[in-house]
Amino acid sequence: MAGAWIADHLPVIDHVLCSTAERTRQTLAATDLLKPSVLVDYTDEIYEAYPEELLALVSAASPAERMLLLVGHSPGIPALAELLAGPDSDQDALARLRTKFPTAAIAVLQQDGDWADATADSAVLTYFGRPGD
């Protein structure tokens, strides 16, 4: 369901950073994003990563890649989303994210500027939820 939601609700993805774990690969496969035009990097670095390590992966993305999809795991992904979510974020979505980030939940954040500019509170959380809830 998460993969289908991503395919239906997000604009064209330029670059995907995906954990090598089977569940994350299955989620990505369900998005129908695995096309030659989408750069997909599978990396072990996402599994059990701390938010700072995930931020380093995001920050290394090319400025030409405007839409980045990170497919990973707790607790790193929830912590990264909370770290990036700035004061202009949807406060209801942020409260739900802080309460619980269940399996297959999706956080959508908008970042102005280049990925290298991503820091704490630099993005806006625009959506948080779990498809089907």
> SS3 for 85-121, per residue?
ECCCCCHHHHHHHHHCCCCCCEEEEEECCCHHHCCCC
Q: Where are the domains of the chain?
A: 2-129
- Burial bucket for residue 11 (CB in 10 Å: 0-12, 13-18, 19+): exposed
Q: Which two tokens stand for residue 104?
A: 């297959």
pLDDT of residue 27: 84
- State pLDDT tens for residues 102-121: 988 999 999 999 999 999 99
- Enumerate residues 6+ apart whose C-beta is below 8 A from 120: 83, 84
Given this structure, which CATH class describes domain 2-129? alpha beta
pTM for the complete prediction?
A: 0.90
Other CB atoms closer than 10 Å to residue 53's CB: what's the count? 13
Average pLDDT over residues 71-88: 96
